[in-house]
Structure 1
Amino acid sequence: MKLLRSERFPAILLLASAALGLLVANLPFGGAVIEFSHAHLPIPGTPIDLSLAHWVSDGLLAIFFFGVAVELQYELTTGELSSVRRALQPAIAAAGGVLVPILIYLAVAGADPATRDGWPIPTATDIAFALGVLAVFGRGLPSPVRVFLLALAIIDDIVGIVFIALLFAHDIQLGMLAVGALLVVVFAILSRIDPDGRGPRIAVVALLTGTAVLAWAFVLLSGVHATIAGVLLGLAMQQSPAMRARHVLEPWINGAILPLFAFAAALVVIPQVSPRELSPALWAILVALPVGKIIGISLFGWLAMRMRPRGTAPAVAFPDLIAAGTLGGIGFTVSLLLANLAFADDAAIRDQAILGVLGGSTIALVLCAVLVSLRARHHRRPASS
């Protein structure tokens, strides 16, 4: 369990799972595995009927987003984003890390109506990978740089959540959504009845779990993407039990949910065509993730440092901002989900967009490993001399 709570191993496991999914899809039996992932598993007596792949992306991934939302709640109330002054610099840099990749994507693929809707895909940063890269390669980075990098990744998570909520809802059933929202309120109240966990814990956990599952079901049936239920529940839960719940769920999220999602999302057959025949979406994501993030984060981050008022955190050096940009280009989890949502109706483009996410994230990961290592060595040098 300790290994699954670490920052390094989950990132390695996530990368290995994505690589395994891509490998399996391109082996002779890959077609059978892909077909199996599309097999439906309905809940008898309910309207819920999801494929195995969607049970992972709409069901299990809601638990991941619950954990993300708990962390966001902590950072927004008592952590690194708890005041405008502390959040301003990474927020400006994150804005650049969203806008520039969008512009690059639209410049490459925006002229084609079939691929235009993929512009949100290169805006996400995978916080699990961000933590993993910092743990492996960032030893010696000063506290302001680490805080900036982590705040940047957290803000990118917020942006990804907003895109999922606003852009990919369809045929919204307001009645179902209202019931889901009411159940989130009930969940919030229940979490505050015994926040210290001194009462009958099994009964409280059973009530909270049942209410959370019902809220997820009604949000799913409302037409809003079901992962938003996880976000709402994580933000609504009282902080003390929420942190305990996240601690309990963390090994399952890192050791099972995220690897399963990465494997399922990467079940993509590599097209046997010439580069000219590949979708513009692939090339747009392949460039926008590493290049767009580096340009956007470093440029906007530099402007934020120049404009910072007195009393704010120390300035982050421009080379550190470039390293932060490479970190932001590691999309993986949320970018894979966005690719599945943006091209849900076109399997061929969706698969190529996923290949773009995997390729662009891998390029960013390699660049990030090199630059973060160099910056960490630079910052350790004065301390050792």
Structure 2
Amino acid sequence: MSLLRSARFPAIILLSAAILALILANSPAGPAVVALKETYLGIPGVFEMSIGHWIQDGLLAVFFFVVAVELQFELTSGELNSARKALQPAIAAAGGVIVPIAVFLLFAGTSDASGGWPIPTATDIAFALGVLAVFGKGLPSGIRIFLLALAILDDIVGIVFIAVLFTDGVNVALLAFAAVAVVAFGILSRMTGGRGHVAVVVLLVVIGIVTWVLVYLSGVHATIAGVALGLAMAQQPALRTRHAMEPWVNAVVLPLFAFSAALVVIPQVSPTELSPAFWGVLVALPVGKIIGITVFGWISLRVGNRGATPHLSFLDLLAAGSLGGIGFTVSLLLSELAFAGRPLIRDEATLGVLAGSAISLILAALLVAQRARSYRRRGAVAAEHDPIHETAEEPRIT
């Protein structure tokens, strides 16, 4: 289980699942696999969804629950628990949203693809931290903290986009019942005691499922149920739950979603015939993110109290910007939602996410490795003169 909680292994599983899906979708077995994804499961005439939707709307709600628990912790007890701490990553995150949108719209213009502008705004925390773990040995902890805060703020933006932009025909009554269930969930979670009582835990699970069903039926995207429950749950039980669920999310939920989303047939057309959605996402993720995060991050260094946040050089920000371009999970979901009724554009946008994230991953590996070498050399020089100072001032990421 510890392997599945590491930063490296889950990212490898996720990438492998996406590559396998692409290979299968473009093999003779492709039509059968895609047909399986479209197979409906559930109670006939009562509650049915395709396997793809069970993964996207059901299993992914569990992932968003885990994300919301981490978000709740960071906002109350972690690196974002004050405006002073959040200022620098918030400004950088704003750049990492605004500039990719602008880059995407440069390609999409007013075409049918323009509705995909939210796609390149996301950052995949698992992948970004995985690259840091593999290539960032020797980096100061401040860079990891900055990236984590940046990715969490990106997640907030992605959650808002999902909740606001991809909601149609809301049933207010069902949504109100869902809100009551969330409140009940939050109150009940504060009655679990030190180790938790079995009956209370079972009831929490039941309320969680009921909340998900109510949100789904209300017309709001069902993953928002996971977000609401994660934010409402008492912090200590929530952190214990997150710890227990994390290996399953990393080993099952995210790989299944990556596999399902990446079941895309690569179009046999010339590059000029590809949708602007493909080119917009392809360029916006690696280029838009790097420019937005680096420039806005550099601006953030010159506002407010400089001593309030970790010192980051321009090159550090450049590395963080490249990591921010690894959109993957949330970007894939946004692609599915933005072009739900237009499968051809959706598939090409998905290819853009995969290709843009791959380019960002390669750039990030190179830039992070370069920064890590620089800090290791600096640490070695400092150790020659003052080994005690080096140990205190250069915390390591392992």
Question: Which band: TM-score by shorter chain?
Answer: over 0.9
Question: What secondary structure, in the 3-state scheme, does the structure 1 residue paired with 2:302 have?
Answer: helix
The separation in 2 between residues aligned to 1:10 and 1:275, in whole angstroms, is: 33
CA contact (8 A) 1:195 1:238 kept: no
Q: Could you say which residue in structure 2 is the equivalent of 1:63?
A: 62
Local SS of the residue matching 1:327 = helix
Deviations along 1:342-363, one digit per CA (max 9) or x if unpaired, are: 0000000000000000000000
Q: Deviations over 1:85-109 (max 9, x none)?
A: 0000000000000000000001111
Cα distance in 2 between the residues matched to 1:124 and 1:310: 27
1:204 Cα offset (Å): 1.5
The equivalent residue for 1:125 is 123
Partner of 1:51: 50
CA distance in 1, matches of 2:193, 2:181: 18
Match of 1:91 in 2: 90
Partner of 1:17: 17
For 1:337, which of 333, 336, 346 is the aligned residue? 333
- Structure 1 match to 2:80: 81
What letter matches 1:106 in structure 2? L
State the aligned residue count: 381
- Which residue in the other structure is 1:312 paired with? 308
Residue from 250, 257, 262 that aligns with 2:258 = 262
Q: Distance in 1 between matches of 2:243 and 2:44?
A: 32
Q: SS state of the match for residue 301, structure 2? A: helix
Instruction: Name the structure 2 match of 1:164.
Output: 162
Equivalent-residue separation in structure 1 for 2:186 and 2:261 (angstroms) = 32
Supply the distance in 1 between the matched residues of 2:350 and 2:280 (Cα, whole angstroms).
12
SS in 1 for 2:96: helix
Does the CA contact (< 8 Å) of 2:192 and 2:201 recur in 1?
Answer: no
Structure 2 counterparts to residues 78-227 of structure 1, below 5 A: 78-112=77-111, 114-198=112-196, 201-227=197-223
1:341-356 aligned within 5 A: 341-356=337-352
TM-score using structure 2 length: 0.94
Supply the distance in 1 between the matched residues of 2:184 and 2:238 (Cα, whole angstroms): 15
Alignment of 1:300 onto 2:296: yes
Report SS of the residue matched to 1:107: helix
Residue matched to 1:42: 42
Query: Any idea what the Cα deviations from partners look like across 1:310-353, whole Å, max 9, x if unmatched?
Result: 54123310000000000000000000000000000000000000
CA contact (8 A) 2:174 2:218 kept: yes
1:308 Cα offset (Å): 3.1
CA distance in 1, matches of 2:40, 2:189: 34
Cα separation, 1, equivalents of 2:307 and 2:33: 56
Deviation at 1:147, TM superposition (A): 1.1
SS at match of 2:167: coil
Provide the C-alpha distance between the structure 2 equivalents of 1:45 and 1:283, rounded to a whole number of angstroms: 41
For structure 1, the 5+ residue unaligned runs are none
Q: Secondary structure at the match of 2:65?
A: helix
**Consecutive unaligned residues in structure 2, runs of 5 or more:** 382-398
- What is the alpha-carbon distance in structure 2 between the residues aligned to residue 288 and residue 68 of structure 1? 24
Aligned partners of 1:344, 1:373: CA distance in 2, in Å?
A: 38
Distance 1:223 1:266 in 2: 25
Question: How far 1:122 sits from its partner (Å)?
Answer: 0.2
Offset at 1:44? Answer: 4.7
1:272-291 map, 5 Å: 272-291=268-287
Q: In 2, distance between residues paired with 1:147 and 1:37?
A: 38
The whole-number CA distance in structure 2 between the counterparts of 1:117 and 1:111 is 9
SS of the residue 2:236 aligns to? helix
Q: Partner of 2:308: helix, strand, or coil?
A: coil
* TM-score, length-scaled by structure 1: 0.97
Q: 2: distance between equivalents of 1:357 and 1:253? A: 21
d(CA) in 2 for partners of 1:210, 1:45 = 22
Task: Write the distance in 2 (CA, Å) between the matches of 1:117 and 1:230.
Answer: 25
How many angstroms apart in 1 are the aligned matches of 2:235 and 2:327? 28
- Cα distance in 2, alignment partners of residues 269 and 62 from structure 1: 26
Using the alignment, how far apart are the partners of 2:248 and 2:310 within structure 1? Answer: 37
- Judged with a 3 Å threshold, the aligned counterparts in structure 2 of structure 1 residues 256 and 314 are, in CA distance, closer, same or farther, namely closer
SS of the equivalent of 1:364 reads helix
User: How many Å separate the matches in 2 of 1:273 and 1:18?
Assistant: 22
Aligned to 2:363: 367
Higher mean C-alpha deviation, range 257-266 or range 146-155? 146-155
Higher alpha-carbon deviation: 50-59 or 144-153:
144-153
**Displacement, 1:306?**
1.2
User: 8 Å contact 1:195–1:240 — kept in the other structure?
Assistant: no
Work out whether residues 212 and 225 of structure 2, in 8 Å CA contact, stay in contact via their aligned partners in 1.
Answer: yes
